[in-house]
Amino acid sequence: MDFNNDKHLDVCQHIEFGLTREYERSPHLTDALCILALENAKVAAKKQFGYAKNESVSGASEIQGIIEWCVAIASERVGKVNDLTLKEFIARLEKIRRSVELHSGAGNRSYFEFIRKYLP
């Protein structure tokens, strides 16, 4: 999982900025909930563009901030900035979801501890 050679690295950083904000706002947000939120954000972003009509998005309040943040980024960027496609955006959400899984082994919020070292 290489972030350095990603032509849409700024999209990944933008998503992670929102994740950091949600971790800071919500002390009960765990890496497991973050993973759930990112999975739901993929569906919500597809729905925003008229796809995934038969799929549902969780209404759990503790993950809504992440879902809304990701959908807002998709709305701002897909088809508008650097030729980002919906498929590429979903791939960035998946890349970050895998990173959360990879860095979540040292506690309930270990991904947050990992990413906040890299974000302003």
The pLDDT, as a whole number, for residue 50 is 95
* Three-class secondary structure assignment of 1-68: CCCCCCCCHHHHHHHHHHHHHHHHHCCCCCHHHHHHHHHHHHHHHHHHCCCCCCCCCCCCHHHHHHHH
State the residue for tokens 């979801």. Answer: 97
The pLDDT, as a whole number, for residue 7 is 80
What pTM, to 2 d.p., does this model score?
Answer: 0.91
The pLDDT, as a whole number, for residue 3 is 57
The pLDDT, as a whole number, for residue 70 is 98
- The pLDDT profile of the chain, 120 residues, written as one tens digit per residue, is 555 677 888 899 999 999 999 999 999 999 999 999 999 999 999 999 999 999 999 999 999 999 999 999 999 999 998 889 999 999 999 999 999 999 998 889 999 999 888 776
